[in-house]
Amino acid sequence: MRVVASSEAVAFVRERGGRLFLWPRSARCCRSVMWLESSTEPDHDREFRRVPADGFELYLPTQMRQPHELELALRCFPRPHVEGYWDGCAWIV
């Protein structure tokens, strides 16, 4: 898996301890539509594994398949957070 992170996203993660956790999330109405949720704190309900990333520690759930490319960008609405794009898509495909 290739990880492409913007400098803003890397700085955001570093300022908050240097670890980023990503996991799939689905809407209650449409379980087939999934996106990546992110946090600089672990979700203790999930088991994570570390994957290679430059400049910070990146963790994905142990049971999650990996995309070919994971793009990470800083978004500021509705609050500052890192958003993950699965092979260039906002949704997991």
pLDDT tens digits along 29-46: 665 678 899 999 998 889
DSSP string for 27-79: -SS-TT-EEEEEESS--TTS-EEEE--SSSEEEEETTPPPPSEEEEEEE-SSS
Please report, for the chain, the start and end positions of each structural domain, with discontinuous segments joined by +: 2-86
pTM listed for this prediction? 0.88
pLDDT in tens, 66-91: 899 999 999 998 899 999 999 988 77
- Written out in words, the top-level CATH class of the domain with range 2-86 is mainly beta
Q: With the CA atoms of 11, 22, 59 and 15 taken in that order, what torsion angle do they form, in degrees rounded to the nearest 10?
A: 20
